[in-house]
Chain A
Amino acid sequence: MSETKLSVWQAMQAKGYSRREFLRFCSFAAAAAGIHASGVTSVVHALEKKPRPPVVWLHFQECTCCSESFIRSSHPIVSDVIFDYLSLDYTETLQAAAGAQAEQCMHDTMKNYPGEYILLVEGSVPTNDGGIHCTIAGRTAEDILQEAAKDAAAVIAWGSCASNGCIQAANPNPTGATPIHEIISKPVIKVPGCPPIGDVMTAVVTHILVYGRMPELDGQGRPKEFYGRRVHDTCYRRPYYDAGLFVEAWDDEKARKGYCLYKMGCRGPVTYNACSVTRWNEGTSYPIQSGHGCIGCSENGFWDNGPFYQHLASFPGFGIETTADTVGTVVGLAATAGVAAHAISTNIRKKHLIDQQIEEANGDEKNAEGGKA
């Protein structure tokens, strides 16, 4: 716990790192955050001078996959981030302290560094039944979040749970799981994904640390650097899409050839994430590279947009795998049938109508004659 508030450089010096190692670390951090080579000096500058920001990492309704992803960041190596870069004062998963000590750490940070600490939130907040579905030390998640967010310098929503509710908020959402931006009144940086890419997580933190402000966000509050493009736009299988070469079944020749997975329900075209650029596990692979379509885990309500293996969501009220197309076809056929029936009925009445009109015509003629006479 950082009571003296060392800068990253000071902390690294204390651990015996050389200047060269520090500069190499800065270059890694800059690259991971998408900062241009000419910006490396500002990274060096920031990490030399600025005190390491204290961090409070809260866990609510989540599965800890965000933390798991975070500790697998490849550059900057996570131990560096956690121990040299940030001053991780409170996180249930990784801290050594427990019980009253842990609570003490959190409260000390909030009390000693108001307006300075970064609040990272993993998990959604239940709002039904007075919030009893998630409590820590006898307090509800909402209560803890409100208190922690009050004096935070920046709030980051880790993962889809905190950003859009994820699986807890999927229909019928029994706990009233709510993303954090709907609970607190501060701007929230959303880093959605189930989990988000570890390198993206560290890069977002790096950005805040280096520039002292939030990264540029898109219309949905996500950093543009990493969520500005669709998985589809940077996918290495994209040429197959434009060429109209699609996998038709999981075990066909086209799957073997690595064609586009669009017809297998791949959500790449509607999902904003950096998977196809950054990739996962030290740039090893990402779902589409492994032969499975994207399930759109960083998009709002992706659990309710199923099934994952078809492109249109099930149409509500018509049972599983009934899509808008099925319903539309039925309605279209019904309209055609109705029109056909109407035409038949009209033509059955045709004779009657024409007779009637002839009668009218004759009547008119008579009237006309009558007029003459």
Chain B
Amino acid sequence: MATTQAVHYRRVYVWQLPVRLYHWLNALCVAVLIVTGYLIGNPLAISYSSEAYQQYWFGTVRFAHFVTAFIFFFNFLVRTYWGFVGNEHSRWTNFIPLRKKQFDEIGNVLKVDILQAKAGDISSTGHNALAGFTYFLTCLAFAFQSCTGFALYSSMSESFLPRMFAWVVPLMGGDFAVRQWHHIAMWFFIVFTIVHVYLVFYHDYVEGRGTTSSMVGGWKFEREDEHK
């Protein structure tokens, strides 16, 4: 009858509080930015008091987008900093595959994810190597969205931070192109969110190590017998 497994798991504290805070604040920001950003690109045809002075909803949506963007940006900076001072699982080395072990694991994860092979070969306790690399690409997307977003914002701002990105506009050939790319990149975030949420559930299921709840409590589990 034994549906329980007589395997011993060790509890490992993987995600420190700043990492978890970053994750959920980032998730919230990205969700708000996608919704408000999509609305800015395709405003709803909601009706209608008759004159402009009677409402300001589109301005409010844009304001929410800008405020959230600032939070998103600084949150991202804090996480980048944490990549140099945090624990071994949050270090920047997890995100850039430079060692053979990481490349091997990327192959294994692809086998598990795509060919649905048995999950025994994923040995990383924190991010697996493929996930880590994907988050690195995501960071590039964050940087890209920040650059293009602040560049678009720079012409209506005198403040220091957005002005630092004013050079992006001539580089990309004008606001139209910047806006277009900013918009295209939004779809990366949408597709990423779909795949990311699913894969968390999937790995939780096939690995059985508490992947989903780890981002809430910080603890993951590793099998005692496979510990190095």
Residues of A within 8 A of B (CB): 219-220, 229-230, 233, 239-246, 248, 257, 262-263, 267, 269-272, 296, 299-302, 305, 311-313, 324-325, 327-328, 331-332, 335-336, 339, 342-343, 345-346, 349, 353-354, 356-358, 360-362, 364-365, 368
Contacts and interface: CB of A to CB of B under 8 A. Distances in A.
Nearest to A323: B183
A296 to B, nearest CB: 6
Contact of A296 (B52, B176, B191): B176
24 contacts: A220-B170, A220-B174, A230-B175, A233-B156, A242-B62, A243-B53, A243-B57, A243-B59, A244-B55, A246-B43, A270-B175, A300-B176, A301-B173, A301-B174, A301-B176, A312-B183, A325-B183, A328-B190, A331-B191, A332-B194, A339-B198, A342-B198, A358-B2, A361-B5
Given A244-B57, A269-B175, A325-B187, 9 more contacts: A230-B175, A244-B61, A270-B179, A325-B41, A349-B116, A354-B3, A358-B2, A361-B5, A364-B6
A313 B174 CA distance: 13
A353 B57 CA distance: 52
Contact of A353 (B170, B176, B191, B206): B206
Given A312-B183, A354-B3, A358-B3, A239 B52 contact: yes
Interface residues of B, number: 52
Contacts of B52: 239-240, 242-243, 245
B55 A243 contact: yes
B39 to A, nearest CB: 9
A302 B5 CA distance: 65
Contacts of B3: 354, 358
Given A301-B174, A365-B2, A345 B166 contact: no
B191 A332 contact: yes
B186 interface: yes
Nearest to B152: A270
Contacts of B5: 357-358, 360-361, 364
A349 B116 CA distance: 9
Contacts of A365: 2, 6
B168 to A, nearest CB: 9
Contact of B194 (A296, A325, A335): A335
B169 A219 contact: yes
B176 A361 contact: no
Task: Select the residue from A335, A349, A362 with max chain B CB neighbours within 10 A.
Answer: A335
Contacts of A339: 194-195, 198
A357 B54 CA distance: 64
B74 to A, nearest CB: 25
A299 B175 contact: yes
Interface in B1-55: 2-7, 41-46, 48, 50-55
B164 interface: no
A365 B2 CA distance: 10
B135 interface: no
Contact of A219 (B53, B57, B166, B190): B166
Contacts of B4: 361
Interface in B182-204: 183-184, 186-187, 190-191, 194-195, 198, 202
